[in-house]
Amino acid sequence: MTRQQLDFIHRFIPAPAGSNATTLLLLHGTGGDEHDLLDLGRILDPQAALLSPRGQVLEQGMPRFFRRVAPGVFDLEDLRQRTHELADFVTAAARTYAFDSQGVIAAGYSNGANIVAATLLLRPEVFKAALLFHPMVPLVPEELPDLAGVPVFVGGGRLDTVIPPQQTGRLAQMLQLAGADVTLHWEPGGHALTPAEVQAAVAWLQRVRDWE
């Protein structure tokens, strides 16, 4: 492996002894870091290993996973590059920490959810399932990938002023067209991640595990 592939500042917490083979990849929102979603990860799956990188792009001192030109307007060249770098990081981390690269479930919030969505669209082999909290369409690929049967949870807020609800719905439709098994969950509020949304995600993830 190259140093660049593990160049993300990150936290890795191994799964408890004798637990399942799932690794949760946790991707924070703008201004977060590698610690932000660790508690969420433990709520989502107490038995999973946790891998949480920090975004490498700084916007006014706030970490992000890719550049944007303006709110809601992304630097698509940078997004594609950063998406491939993140995918390579996950593969390298699986070798370094000896977890199953075929058992990675991504959970991202806002900016983190957007790069998870981009990874599903550009590197669909990386995740066996994904939870996208308050995402939007990050890019439109020239050709949709084959996501047949990939479980995806999409959570959004009806009154979200950061991520327009129609963008969240459009992403869900795009993933469905690619074959993903999409569950779209709406909360009545805005951009904040609510306890009700988290509990809906926990119940969804448990159903996904029961289907395995």
Q: Which of 10, 84, 185, 191 is catalytic?
A: 191
134 is a catalytic site residue: no
Evaluated on CA atoms 204, 132, 182, 184, the torsion sign reads positive
185 is a catalytic site residue: no
Residue 64 token pair: 């992000």
Q: Which helix (H) or strand (E) holds 168?
A: helix 165-177
Q: Which of 36, 45, 88, 160 is catalytic?
A: 160
Evaluated on CA atoms 187, 193, 196, 201, the torsion sign reads positive
Q: Which helix (H) or strand (E) holds 115?
A: helix 111-122
Q: Which residues are within 8 A (CB) of 98 and not within 5 positions of it... i.e. 6 or more apart?
A: none
Q: Which of 39, 110, 185, 210 is catalytic?
A: 110
Closest CA to 149 of 134, 130, 123: 130
- Residues recognised as catalytic: 110, 160, 191
